[in-house]
Amino acid sequence: MEKITPFVSSQWLAEHGDHCVILDVRYALDGSLTKQDYLGGHVPGAVYADFPSLSGGQAAPDKGRSPLPDPADFAADLAALGVGDDSTVIVYDQGGSGAASRLVYMLRTLGDNAAVLDGGLAAWDGPLDTTDVTPHLSTRSVAAWPAERFIDADELTHLMNTSNTVLFDARPEDRYAGVNETVDARPGHIPSAINLPVTAHLAGGVTKDTATLKDEYAAHGTFEADNVISYCGSGVAACYNLLVLEQLGVAGRLYTGSWSQWSSDPDRQGAVGSEPGTWSK
């Protein structure tokens, strides 16, 4: 199949789904979404994938809540789900959660033909199936994570001090501002980060048109920047921003540790409030 864009519509999936591996990664941070939801109704042919175990390694304060998994483990997990080296993969969640975007970003950085079902299951207008689909084991090569698509805290600090870097925070406004922080070590955000949550990209539950998104990103100096980086709480929702950026022709980078790692280090700068604040060199 020809290379697909980072987002595909329900109509596209209805027309091409027979030639794709479809993964259901519905996920909620509070654990309220489980395989029972998948069994209650899913896109026909979709395989259930346990998002936390597939998308991240072992959480730790110095790594964040969703560090990248070991490449060999990731390859083995994908093979077990039927994702081979040449598969076209469509991933969906409940809509707007960022889970599907995280997996698709990971796959696309490895060169896979992968996309998010735009709008998630909520946007699927076809029939639902309640079968527990058994995947066909595939062959999957082990590949290292490409350094140019990911960034750690030290490199981020270096780039903020030395280059024209635009940094986006994809968390909801309240968590960005440091209001009611109940997940991470301290409230707030990385100074100078611009708040651009997943919901800012949506209209009617699906991704806004490219022209509108281009104007919105241009207002933040995105296209003149030397580096464009996205983060969130754990490196999940941030990937929505990165897929939108790819669609706009910008190769952004994921700060994988995100605020869950950054906030655990008291020596790293933080800011609170609805404004980005200033980075202190």
* Residues labelled catalytic: 232
According to DSSP, the β-strands at 206-207 and 202-203 are antiparallel
CA-CA-CA-CA torsion sign (238, 69, 26, 112): positive
**What distance in Å separates the CA atoms of residue 82 and residue 87, rounded to the nearest whole number?**
8
Whether residue 63 contacts residue 261, with contact meaning beta carbons closer than 8 Å, is answered with yes
- The answer for residues whose C-beta is within 8 angstroms of residue 132's C-beta and 6 or more apart is 38, 39, 48
Tokens of 87: 């598969």
**What distance in Å separates the CA atoms of residue 235 and residue 21, rounded to the nearest whole number?**
24
**How many Å is the Cα radius of gyration of the chain?**
18
Alpha helix (H) ranges present in the chain?
A: 10-16, 35-39, 51-55, 71-80, 99-109, 153-162, 173-177, 210-218, 238-247, 258-262
**What distance in Å separates the CA atoms of residue 172 and residue 106, rounded to the nearest whole number?**
22
Which is nearest to 237 in space by CA: 78, 27, 5?
Answer: 27
Q: Name the residue type at position 11.
A: Q
